[in-house]
Every structure is written in structure tokens, then in C-alpha cells.
Structure 1
Amino acid sequence: MPKLIAIARLLLSPLLLILSACGTDGTTFSNRIGNNGHDVLYSKAQVKDGVARFECKASDSGLCHYTLYPDACAGKPDCALAPLQHFTVARGQTRQIAGLRDFRVCVGIDGKPMRADCQPVVQR
């Protein structure tokens, strides 16, 4: 009987591991710009259960400037869809927004406008 219990534990362990991962749904975005081991910008965003949490971990300006675009704009510098949100979070602070779905995070250390591909808008 102890051998049967050991076999059952061996077979159930991977299944329990897989099932435990099912409850951790969500998406995490991480943006990091470094210079010689120094974080010029470090931001994390996590979306879980319909709530997005934006955390400005490091920024040389003291602020993380966020622009959120619809996911349909991913990689398209000339996307015609307007940004979903613009906001700023101070270094060491977080902001939570409920109800965001299918978006792309662009973040920078200054308030300059960003295109949907997260590159700065070139002003002529």
C-alpha cells in the first residue's frame, strides 16, 4: 500500500502543478532602459482580473509617462486609432485602472508624445 501511495503522489504532482498555474491568469509588461548598470527607466504593468496595475520602479526624471494604445495598433507607427489613455506615475508609485482590455503599453521618462509603436513622435 505505501508503494501505491508513492506512485499516486508521483503521478499527481505534475497535475497539481499545472492546475495551480491555471489560477494565475494575467499579463505582465516590463519596460526597462539601462545605461552601464543604471536603470534610466524601469516600469512594470500587470493586468489581472480586469484590473491593470502600473508601477514606476525607476525613472531618471522621477516620472513614468504612459500611453496606452489598442492592441490592434501593435507595431504600427501610423495606426489611426487614438490612444486609450495618457497618464503619469511618480517613481516608486503605482496606479490601478479597472476595465482596460487588449492594450499595448508605451512608457517614457518625459511627456513627449509616442506613436503606437512606442517611438517618439517626430515633430517637424
Structure 2
Amino acid sequence: MAELDVIARLLLSPLLLILSACGIGGTSYSNRIGSDGHDVLYSKAQVKDGVARFECRASDSGACHYTLYPDACAGKADCTLAPLQRFSVARGETRQIAGIDDFRVCVGTDARPLRADCAPAARAP
């Protein structure tokens, strides 16, 4: 009987290791702006296996407005690369986009364009 336990453990160990690897990985982003204990903006995004999921949990305007930049632009106000995508997600809703992996998330409560450092773009005179 003890031999069966040893054999079962030897057979199950690799299987458990393989199963534990499932679901590992991906990148998560969280953006939260609060004021007096109130969430003015709360957004979460997760990228896994080439699929990005954007969730607008709270926004005083009723929507989260996203601008996605190439990862090479991270934090660079003077980045000359164009945004990968711009889109909005209504408060309480989610959106999935397949085929994107390396990007920088900028999100705001209004549709004003955001630079690669996530600051609002200067308005034209």
C-alpha cells in the first residue's frame, strides 16, 4: 500500500506542477483618482495571452476614456509614436481587445487627448 502512495505522488507531482502554471503571467494595470473618499476614476486593465481586458469601475463622467501608447513611449511626454488605440468604456462595463501585448495605458474621465506620459495634451490656440 505504501508503494502505491509513492507511485501516486510521483505521477501527480508533475501534473500538479503543470496545472499550477496555468493562469500565471500577464500584466495588470490599475488607475485610481479619489477625492474626499470618493472614486472620481477607477479603472483596471489586465493583459494575458494577447488579450487585454479593460474595466471601468468608476468615473464621474460616466465613462473611462483610454489611450494606449506603445510601451516604448512609457513616461515620455515627447514621444512621437502615435497612440495604438483610443476608446471609451462606460462605467460598470468592460471591453476586450485581442492582439495587443506591450502598451502603456493612459485613462481619464473625459475624451481630451492624453500624451504618452498620460498628461492632457496641450490645446491648440
Q: TM-score under structure 2 normalisation?
A: 0.82
- Between the two proteins, the alignment pairs up a number of residues equal to 114
SS in 2 for 1:57: strand
* Separation (CA, whole Å) in 2 of partners of 1:69 and 1:77: 11
2:64 corresponds in structure 1 to: 64
Match of 1:9 in 2: none
**Distance in structure 1 (CA, Å) of the matches to 2:65 and 2:21:** 32
Partners of 2:43 and 2:28 lie apart in 1 by 11
Secondary structure of 1:75 counterpart: coil
SS in 2 for 1:72: helix
CA distance in 1, matches of 2:49, 2:83: 22
Give the match for residue 93 of structure 2. 93
What are the equivalent positions in structure 2 for 1:74-113 lying under 5 Å apart? 74-113=74-113
Unpaired runs of 5+ residues, structure 2, are 6-15
- Aligned partner of 1:122 in structure 2 is 122
Q: Distance in 2 between matches of 1:27 and 1:21?
A: 15
Aligned to 1:43: 43
Q: Offset at 1:55?
A: 0.2
Offset at 1:22? Answer: 6.5
Letter in 2 for 1:43: S
Please identify runs of 4+ aligned residues in structure 1 that moved more than 2 A. 19-23
- Structure 1 stretches lacking a partner, 5+ long: 6-15
- Root-mean-square deviation (CA, aligned residues, Å) is 2.1
**In the TM superposition, what whole-angstrom CA distance separates every residue of 1:1-48 from its partner, at most 9, and x where no partner exists?**
xxxx9xxxxxxxxxx79x836741110000000001100000000001
Sequence identity, in percent? Answer: 77
Whether the 8 Å contact between 2:107 and 2:118 is mirrored in structure 1 is yes
Where does residue 54 of structure 1 map in the other structure?
Answer: 54
Using the alignment, how far apart are the partners of 1:22 and 1:117 within structure 2? 33
Maintained 8 Å contact 2:26/2:47:
yes
Counterpart position of 2:32: 32
